[in-house]
Structure 1
Amino acid sequence: MLSDAASAGKVRVLACRPEIAELPLYNAGLSTEAVRARYGVSEVTKLGSNENPYGPSPSVSMALGDIVSRLPLYPEADQLLKAEISRYLGAISGQIILGNGSEQIIRMIAEAYVSPGDRVVTVIPSFGLHIITAEAMGGIVEAVPVTQDCEFDLDALHEAVSKPLKLLIFANPSNPVGCMMTGQQLKDLVGSCPPDCLIVVDEAYREYAEHDPSYPSARAILAAQQRPWMVLRTFSKAFGLAGLRIGYGITSDSAVADAIGKVRDPFNTNVVAQIAGCAALNDLPHMENTVRATVEERESLRNALVEIGLKIAPSCANFLFFETSISSGNLAEALLHEGVIIKPWKEPGYTSWSRVSIGTPEENARFLAALRTVLHPSSVREAQEAQEA
């Protein structure tokens, strides 16, 4: 028999934990299908989520050829992909953890290590989940702003980590800024941390930065000291497998891996993802070629944005962070009407900044044309009229 509330079509409000009630929702952005339907555009250029526009290796398609026969069964307990990552990294399999995207690993880190009142240090602007997951567990997050030149504020970071601390977590290269911390800078920062804090370096964009001789091996630097640590990597960016959600972490020791394993969802890396990940690791030339093309396009796009007169943050990743005279929300909305998706930044203090992913040459050209139309409509109109005349 239905209760009075149910029969009346009402559901009683159940209060969630106060830490959750105050959290923002993660902004995943719009899909190309949603933009077509909402804005009535036929061609959409998606440059808001830092995806690899060249896609995964053809080896992935070949490896997935007979996947249907394996779908009725649970996947292996991630040993297949762990073994391949272990071979790729020269790491011990027991120190590798897998996630349904590195986002899940970030959440598991918070669940395993952050208690109410624990201090967590990160940077801002930031990948939102570095903050959200810690605050969801009751952690007190201190986010250190980048400098006016959009570089890591090393003095402020040293001061922040000099106090009692449970977790230091940040991306290198930074997301969304793109700036890079050098090896000596990372070594000095780690040395300033309390001996009992967990240090997590998110290297989602590592492959795009490795061409720079100053880019450090976080794993080597962290392994040379005694604090517990983790380095995060992903197949979503350079390997072109964002839709399959595969992330992994290399841990300082099996104790950290075991703690994460206790809050890990069983079978959290599905069989399709594992097979595709293995295939991608066995075709590194494809990944390296797409990275090379993206880095070249990044520099071309940077130069074009400088010519327009915009302020551009230094970037070693597959995106650019830039500032305009209008709010990022208004800019993004205007570009959607032109069929172009970018990422408006909404953290306080950075609402005039936007992030654009590096696409193919054709996609980048469409973005630039749309940006000029939005920022300087009269100039574009005059140029068009001159051509028609």
Structure 2
Amino acid sequence: MSNLKQTHIVPRKTLDNIKPYSPGKPIWEVQNELGLTKVIKLASNENPLGASPKAIDAINSFVTEIHRYPDAGAKLASAAIASKLGIKAEEIIVTNGGDELISLVSEAFLEAGDEIVVPSPSFSEYEFGAHLMGARTVAVPLKEDYQYDVDALLAAVTERTKIMYICSPNNPTGTYIPAADLKRLIEALPEHVLLMVDSAYSYYASADDYTSGMEYVRAGYPVIVLQTFSKIFGLAGIRVGFGAAPEAVIRTILKVKEPFNVNALAQIAAAAAITDEEHVQASIEVNQLGREQLYEGLSELGLSYTTSMSNFVLVELGTEAKSIYDQLLAKGVIVRYGTIWGLPRHIRVTVGLPEENECFLESLKEILG
């Protein structure tokens, strides 16, 4: 058979701006590539305690029903989440992870030529959603200590701005926007701007002046709060998250949602996990102890790090960061190299179990000599 004809199908021009998402390496891939048997993954901010036991029980009890289509409205999960948050089920949209919510919000509100305002460095999917719709991303640098600059964020808003994203705690820095600053930002934003507060890591935040932003949803502000079951609830592998927003905002987003966007097992697991207080508290405790373990070990090695309100720590390694990242990988320790966020001198390390944190620190000590 002759070679296939060269295609002349022209993709959308905006795809020139899109780079595929680069996730952390899975354990099996590192094992296969490097011939290692023991590998620890501290790259993707997963819960080291595993999934919520209540979610696992719910999945096991429901697995014989997977020949049925899932509930298109995810009513059971929406009701459980709404009950937990003290809002109406109509103010919830359940999505295929937080990533899908960002895409849906982009599809629902952005036209070609519109603008979004994002902090920098932060989660790359905000920019992806804008590019998808042919919108422009206006990046506002965080301050030198990775704190939010409310004045700079407000100064970046124009008549073309449709969405502003605030990631708090912020990925990859672990810093957050204090409640007073978020209040000032929300009250100063023009009425035509939708604010998304991405609080995927909210359960890990221990600062007295932290807020997820949910009170603004309850008060009817044009705010949508993103949360996920991938982190503290340990359900990253089945992809489920949600958005909370005033009912009018949710109705608009539902217009672009696919009918069966969240699979049945994810829905039943989310409804159970949201009630699993014991698992949440255990996860918070292991994370707080793990953060302190990393801080102490990194300080002993003379390394700079950013104090985190999340389940990861941003570590500055200097000009040798890429080499150190590669050497950690060779030792079977997977972390994230910071170049994806424009931080080539840094790595981001997920807080693991005590023995995983110790393995990382010992490996780092060996590399640094």
TM-score range, shorter chain: over 0.9
- The match for 2:299 is 306
User: Following superposition of structure 1 onto structure 2, how do residues 50-69 of structure 1 map, counting pairs within 5 Å?
Assistant: 50-69=45-64
Determine the C-alpha separation between the residues in 2 that align with 1:167 and 1:328. 34
1:111 alignment partner, one of 90, 93, 107: 107
- The match for 2:79 is 83
- The answer (yes or no) to whether the contact 1:161–1:192 under 8 Å persists in 2 is no
- The answer (yes or no) to whether the contact 1:203–1:233 under 8 Å persists in 2 is yes
- The match for 1:380 is none
Larger Rg: 1
- The answer (yes or no) to whether the contact 2:337–2:347 under 8 Å persists in 1 is yes
- The match for 1:177 is 173
Equivalent pairs: percent with the same residue?
36
Amino acid at match of 2:356: E
Unaligned residue ranges in structure 1 (runs of 5+): 1-5, 378-389
TM-score with structure 1 setting the length: 0.90
- The answer (yes or no) to whether the contact 2:212–2:225 under 8 Å persists in 1 is no
- The match for 2:19 is 24
User: Following superposition of structure 1 onto structure 2, how do residues 306-345 of structure 1 map, counting pairs within 5 Å?
Assistant: 306-345=299-338
Determine the C-alpha separation between the residues in 1 that align with 2:41 and 2:60. 28
Amino acid at match of 1:299: E
Determine the C-alpha separation between the residues in 1 that align with 2:320 and 2:134. 32
Determine the C-alpha separation between the residues in 2 that align with 1:85 and 1:261. 17
RMSD: 1.7
TM-score with structure 2 setting the length: 0.95
The reply on whether 1:215 has 2:210 as its aligned counterpart is: yes
- The match for 2:42 is 47
2:133 alignment partner, one of 137, 149, 156: 137
Secondary structure at the aligned position of 1:189 is classed as helix
- The answer (yes or no) to whether the contact 1:120–1:165 under 8 Å persists in 2 is yes
Amino acid at match of 2:286: A
Determine the C-alpha separation between the residues in 1 that align with 2:334 and 2:2. 44
Unaligned residue ranges in structure 2 (runs of 5+): none
Determine the C-alpha separation between the residues in 2 that align with 1:63 and 1:319. 29
Shift in Å, 1:162: 6.2
- The answer (yes or no) to whether the contact 1:130–1:170 under 8 Å persists in 2 is no
Shift in Å, 1:130: 1.1
Shift in Å, 1:225: 6.5
Determine the C-alpha separation between the residues in 2 that align with 1:153 and 1:290. 31
2:153 alignment partner, one of 128, 153, 157: 157
- The answer (yes or no) to whether the contact 1:51–1:357 under 8 Å persists in 2 is yes
- The answer (yes or no) to whether the contact 1:327–1:353 under 8 Å persists in 2 is no
Shift in Å, 1:164: 4.6
- The answer (yes or no) to whether the contact 2:199–2:212 under 8 Å persists in 1 is no
User: Following superposition of structure 1 onto structure 2, how do residues 211-290 of structure 1 map, counting pairs within 5 Å?
Assistant: 211-221=206-216, 223-224=218-219, 226=221, 228-252=222-246, 254-290=247-283
What whole-Å deviation, never above 9, does each CA across 1:123-145 have from its counterpart, x for those lacking one? Answer: 11111101111122111111111
Determine the C-alpha separation between the residues in 2 that align with 1:113 and 1:221. 20
Give the total of aligned pairs.
368
Determine the C-alpha separation between the residues in 1 that align with 2:155 and 2:21. 29
